[in-house]
A and B are shown apart, each in its own frame.
Chain A
Amino acid sequence: MVTAGQIAPAGSGFLPRAGLDALIALLEDDGRRVIGPTIADGAIVYDEIHAATDLPLGYGDEQAPGRYRLHDTGGERAFGYAVGPTSWKAWTFPARVPIGTAERDQDGHLRFAPVVADPPPVAFLGVRGCELAALRIQDRVLAEGPAVDPDFVARRRSALIIAVECTVAASTCFCTSMRTGPEIADDAADLVLTEIAEGFLVRAGTDAGRTVAERLPLVAAGDEQTSRGRAAVAAVREAIGDPVALDGLAGRLADRLDDPKWAEIAERCLACANCTLVCPTCFCTSVGQRSDLDGRASVTERTWDSCFSGDFAKVAGGTFRGRREDRYRQWLTHKFSTWVDQFGTSGCVGCGRCIAWCPVGIDVRAELAAIAPPPTRRSIRSAPVAAGGPGEFITARIDSLHPETPDTTTLVLADVHPAIAEGAPGQFVMVTRPGLPAVPISISRYHPAAASIELSIRAAGPATATISGLAAGDEVGLRGPLGRGWPIDQADGRDVIVVSGGIGLSPVRPLVDALLDERDRYGVIRIFHGARTPADRPHADDLATWADRPDVELATTVDRADEAWPGAVGVVTHLFDQARWAGREAIAFVCGPERMMQATAAVLLDRGLRPERVFVSLERHMDCGIGLCGHCQMGKAFVCRDGPVFSLAELGSNFGREGV
């Protein structure tokens, strides 16, 4: 036993090896589940432990690209190995969690409710320097806004962190380059342990850590013990070296999007997604429904997803990242480059999991070195996020419906929450029903005084077809308004050009409404619309109304005319590429199929418009709508949060690039 005179001050000191059981026991006495390293399936994983003997005592690991083996090295060391395949995100951000429920009650009304996690207190034992950095990155992405994941926040708050400084390195480690380890600062965790031959040097970094340390059988650490601990950690730093040239890396990668080496990597890459799922910071998820057979009740579930899956970037017309090289490039450039633009730090902590657990041994350190040179950076503005998390829907009622085109229906919604009914032109909502996946739909008209909005929905898949087929009186769930709409304030005093294709007229209709509401603020307003056929023209009444106004110049065209069509035939750019207006001071808003927007943008730039005053509305796979799930990323931008409206200047060379 320890006498009072030997107790070290302020929760620091030396813990003899036998004290590890006391530590685990008192954490359990405090009501915490203790999660720590243990051996399962030939690897050291993190799982619940109850005693020091559950730890991999005496075990060491051998790690190399695509290879992991355990060795019983004898002895008593509890932390004589590097990180394994599990990361703490399995507890802070579990692979599968319910986030909301939806049901139809007995009167037929829809009820949506978020599921809020109430996790039991846990203690993480054995968190390494790289892993502390990973938790801080998760905090930045998931808890510090603008969007917040309440499930993560609850789980993260419930965890006491007991860190361990590394005294061995694997060949896959590169924390030194990423500046995340192996040393751990006093205040980086609740408690910090450093293992030496006879036990553990202990430092408390927080009040919570001190209240644990005060109950441990600590004795004062000798200077010689402390310096042995420091030397062991320094030897790890020395062994790892500095394999990744971090300075300027983000910029160098951003300049290498067209490098032929992406395709070479893709010949080896299995696109199996292991790298992203073992990564302690990758946060991409998908939200899906589990419904009962009647579609009366459903649970909305969030699961880990990956940018390496084909469905991940899929929209009704196909996937934006069809090739493996697109997916590998998305992952590597996000991790090391665009993550910096989005969150202010690299997304990589140098833990080396993606190297060891790649079945074909692709080594990011080598690939980064192969795809390198000079830095540039651009910034993107983010919209303030309006409405809540991915599980939080609000019920609205369908007041009436009318067909716009053979495949598009306009729903007029009533009882719409004021936050949505008072949204901005160009914003969108996620629309759902119990059992249906939520789909992003642009708001095609606002009636704020009537608590009403209009949604024009093209039946592109079963969910949109089902919603289009609902009847007046039916209800839907809405979440929004989401995204950054058209920057109307920038149109003040300028000539305005609005170009839309097909159903792309719907997202610009509230823009035109707003322009006409305050007509004298703007110069000449020119509206152009193109459709495949006369029958495919949505909002025909509005087009007719605008055509009649003397203060609007409207021109429309169709790709294929019928005999009754009196107007122009051809692509929409033909309507203005011969026109005699100068665009230098004009502002343009463009919405339609991506190829139509590319062609339009090219002609507008030719006519003198500046890239910062040509705005396009992008379509991407949007799942959460608030920049949390990762599906809609395009370079550094989350299209749902930072867009869907972007200027050509913001998009840079990504606009029109295949596979981003």
Chain B
Amino acid sequence: MVTPGTRPTVGVVKLTSCDGCQLTLLDLEEELLAIADRFDLVDFPEASSSRSAGPYDLLLVEGSISDPQQLERIVELRARTTTLVAIGACATSGGIQALRNWGEVGDWSAAVYPQPELLAVLDRVTPVGDHVQVDAELRGCPISPTQLREFLAALLVGRRPRLPDEAVCLECKRRGIPCLLVTGDGTCLGPVTRTGCGAICPSFGRGCYGCFGPREQPNVASLASRFVAGGLGPDEAGRRFGFFTPLAEPFRAAIPDSPVRPPEEAPHARNA
């Protein structure tokens, strides 16, 4: 918790990720000056060459843990941080690269790299919360600028940020978008996916890909049955839950041939 009335120091770091989430901070164009005024952005390589090793009142962490150095780094960063926020699908539930967990890392690297022996990567991709305490999550691929702004505003005022854990469907209906599962035979993960994006994909006639991960009380089994009734095979229906947040339960369990997680990777408590 940040003391209201102070100017919190903020760091932004990336692990295995595409930078899209941290760039969302720069997308808050109209309020960048106010943010720079109210927050002390001590370490944000995408915006400034000035660096800081902390300590940080607030640290935004983008990306998943894929190699041994990241594992050490996240533990060090945690020790220097008051409020650590995992931002984006990679940091919160593995991201697309976590799909490699469904195969053997050696097979992948041999298929992609001419000299795979030069790589030092972990067998499994994991989210940040598997290794250190995460104080809050911003979901999505990428995160929503509206939610990031809400999180920062709430932090300054000292209230709980409004990051609802309901289904995407509510926002879809508020926007007056007819349900794609009812008007067509396509798939949409909206009913099991956490809101926050503003129902972007359904507004363009595309089913939700689930990039915000599971909502509270997701009924994955019933939705998978709906996909099967719409013409998908059971395995194909299960794979629909494995795009952007494949490590988030219960999406992970719905994906065919889910690898069993070793017990030492049991996640820390993660909630917003």
- Residue-wise, chain B 140-171 has the 8 Å CB interface mask toward A (1 for contact) of 00000000001011101111101011110110
Return the contact of A435 from the options B153, B174, B226 (Cβ within 8 A). B153
Q: A68-B182, A68-B183, A293-B35 are in contact. Are A96 and B174 (CB under 8 A)?
A: yes
Q: Is A66 an interface residue (CB 8 A)?
A: yes
Complex-state Cα separation, A89 to B270, whole angstroms: 38
User: Of B68-76, B215-223, B239-247, which stretch is located at the interface?
Assistant: B215-223
Q: Is the CB of A359 within 8 A of B179?
A: yes
Contact B190 A272 (CB under 8 A): yes
Task: Answer yes or no: A42 CB below 8 A from chain B CBs.
Answer: yes
Query: Could you say which residues of chain A place their CB within 8 Å of the CB of B183?
Result: 41-43, 68-69
Given A42-B178, A466-B4, the answer on whether A269 and B219 have CB atoms closer than 8 Å is yes
B193 to chain A: closest residue by CB: A272
B residues near A273, Cβ cutoff 8 Å? 166-167, 169-170, 173
With contacts A45-B176, A45-B178 known, is A360 near B225, CB below 8 A?
yes
- Whether A158 is near chain B, meaning CB under 8 Å from some CB there, is no
| B156 lies within 8 A of A293 (CB) | yes
Q: Which of B158, B176, B223 contacts A270 (CB 8 A)?
A: B223
Say whether B157 contacts A291, CB under 8 Å. yes
A274: chain B residues at CB < 8 Å are 169, 173, 179, 191
Which B residue sits closest to A435, measured CB to CB?
B157
* B191 A272 Cβ-Cβ under 8 A: yes
Are B222 and A293 within 8 A (Cβ)?
no
Known: A43-B183, A270-B167, A324-B217. A95 touches B158 (CB 8 A): no
Pick the contact of B167: A84, A272, A293 (CB < 8 A): A272
Q: Known contacts A272-B191, A274-B169; decide if A357 and B156 are in contact (CB<8 Å).
A: no
CB nearest to A463 among chain B residues: B159
Q: Which residues of A contact B156 (CB under 8 A)?
A: 293-295
A272 to B222, CA, bound (A): 12
A/B interface sample: 22 pairs, CB < 8 A: A41-B183, A95-B174, A270-B191, A273-B167, A277-B173, A293-B152, A295-B156, A304-B170, A306-B166, A309-B216, A310-B166, A310-B217, A323-B217, A357-B179, A359-B179, A359-B188, A359-B223, A359-B226, A435-B157, A463-B159, A465-B158, A466-B158
Across the interface, name the chain B residue whose C-beta is closest to A305. Answer: B170
B262 within 8 Å of A (CB atoms): no
A462 at the B interface (CB under 8 A): yes
On whether A90 and B222 interact (CB within 8 A), knowing A309-B166, A435-B159, the answer reads no
Q: A303 to B217, alpha carbons, bound, how many Å?
A: 21
Any chain B CB within 8 A of the CB of A67? yes
Q: In the complex where A269-B219, A293-B152, A435-B153 touch, is A311 in contact with B165 (Cβ < 8 A)?
A: yes
User: Contact between A304 and B173 (Cβ–Cβ < 8 Å)?
Assistant: yes
A5 interface residue, CB < 8 Å from B? no
Q: How large is the interface on B (under 10, 10 to 19, 20 to 34, 35 or more residues)?
A: 35 or more
In the complex, what's the smallest C-beta–C-beta distance from B269 to chain A, in angstroms? 16
Report chain B residues within 8 Å CB of A303: 174
Q: Shortest beta-carbon distance, A323 to chain B, in Å?
A: 8
Given A45-B178, A267-B219, A277-B173, 11 extra CB contacts under 8 A: A42-B178, A95-B175, A270-B167, A272-B191, A273-B167, A288-B162, A292-B34, A304-B170, A359-B191, A435-B159, A466-B159
Q: Is A461 an interface residue (CB 8 A)?
A: yes
In the assembly, what is the distance between CA of A69 and CA of B38, in Å?
A: 52
Set of chain A residues within 8 Å of B164, measured between Cβ atoms: 309, 311
Q: Whole-angstrom distance between the alpha carbons of A277 and B178 in the complex?
A: 11
Interface bits A304-322 vs B (CB < 8 Å: 1, else 0): 1110111100000000000
* B 182-218 contacts with A by CB, 8 A: 182-184, 188, 190-192, 205, 216-217
Q: How far is the CB of B85 from chain A (nearest CB, A)?
A: 15
The answer to whether B181 and A66 have CB atoms under 8 Å apart is yes
Which are the 7 A-B pairs with shortest beta-carbon distances?
A277-B173, A295-B157, A95-B174, A272-B191, A310-B216, A43-B178, A309-B166
Q: State whether A269 touches B222 (Cβ < 8 A).
A: yes
B265 at the interface (CB under 8 A from A): no
Task: Give the complex CA separation of A96 and B169 in angstroms.
Answer: 15
Q: Knowing A67-B182, A96-B174 touch, does A462 contact B158 (C-beta < 8 A)? A: yes
Judge whether A271 and B219 touch: CB under 8 Å: yes
Q: Does B177 contact A (CB under 8 A)?
A: yes
Residues from chain A with Cβ under 8 Å of B123 in the complex: none
Query: Taking CB as reference atom, which chain A residue is nearest B38?
Result: A293
Expressed in whole angstroms, the Cα–Cα distance for A117 and B147 within the complex equals 27
Tell me whether B219 and A277 are in contact (CB under 8 A): no
A319 to chain B: closest residue by CB = B216
CB atoms of A41 and B178 under 8 A apart:
yes
Is A310 a contact partner of B159 (Cβ separation < 8 A)? no
Residue B236, interface by CB 8 Å: no
Q: A273-B173, A274-B179, A466-B159 are in contact. Are A291 and B153 (CB under 8 A)?
A: yes
Partner of B160, one of A66, A306, A463: A463
Q: Please, which residues of chain A bring their CB within 8 A of the CB of B31?
A: 293
Among A43, A45, A293, residue most surrounded by chain B Cβ atoms (within 10 Å): A293
Please indicate the chain B residues that have their CB under 8 angstroms from the CB of A295 in the complex. Answer: 4, 153, 156-158
> A278: nearest residue on chain B (CB-CB)?
B173
Contact at B159–A304, with CB atoms within 8 Å? Answer: no
How far, in whole Å, are A437 and B223 apart by their CA atoms in the complex? 34
Q: Which residue of B lies closest to A292 (CB)?
A: B153
Residues of B within 8 A of A323 (CB): 217
In contact, B174 and A304 (Cβ under 8 angstroms): yes
**Whole-angstrom distance between the Cβ of A579 and the nearest chain B Cβ:** 43
The residues of A that contact B38 with a CB separation of less than 8 Å are 293-294
Query: Nearest chain-B residue to A437 (Cβ)?
Result: B159
Is B158 within 8 A of A268, CB to CB? no
What's the least CB distance linking B150 to chain A, in Å? 8
CB contacts (< 8 Å) of A196 on chain B: these are: none
Q: Which residues of A contact B191 (CB under 8 A)?
A: 270-272, 274, 359
In the assembled complex, the Cα of A293 lies from the Cα of B174 at a distance in Å of 26
Residue on B with the closest CB to A359? B181
Please report which residues of chain A, range 500-557, place their CB below 8 angstroms from some CB of chain B when the two chains form the complex.
none
Contact with B along A268-286 (1 / 0, CB 8 A): 1111111001100000000
Cα distance, A86 to B169, chains bound together (Å): 14
* CB of A352 closer than 8 Å to a CB of B: no
Cα A100 to Cα B86 with chains together (Å): 33
A13 within 8 A of B: no
- CB pair B182 A356 closer than 8 Å: yes
In the bound complex, how far is the Cα of B50 from the Cα of A275, in angstroms?
52
Q: How far is the CA of A376 from the CA of B195 in the complex (A)?
A: 40
Instruction: Kindly list chain A residues whose C-beta atoms are within 8 Å of the C-beta of B223.
Output: 270, 359-360
Closest A residue, CB atoms, query B161: A462
A436 within 8 Å of B (CB atoms)? yes
Does A85 belong to the interface (CB within 8 Å)?
A: yes
**Complex formed: what's the CA distance from A271 to B177 in Å?**
18
**B181: A residues at CB distance < 8 A:** 66, 359
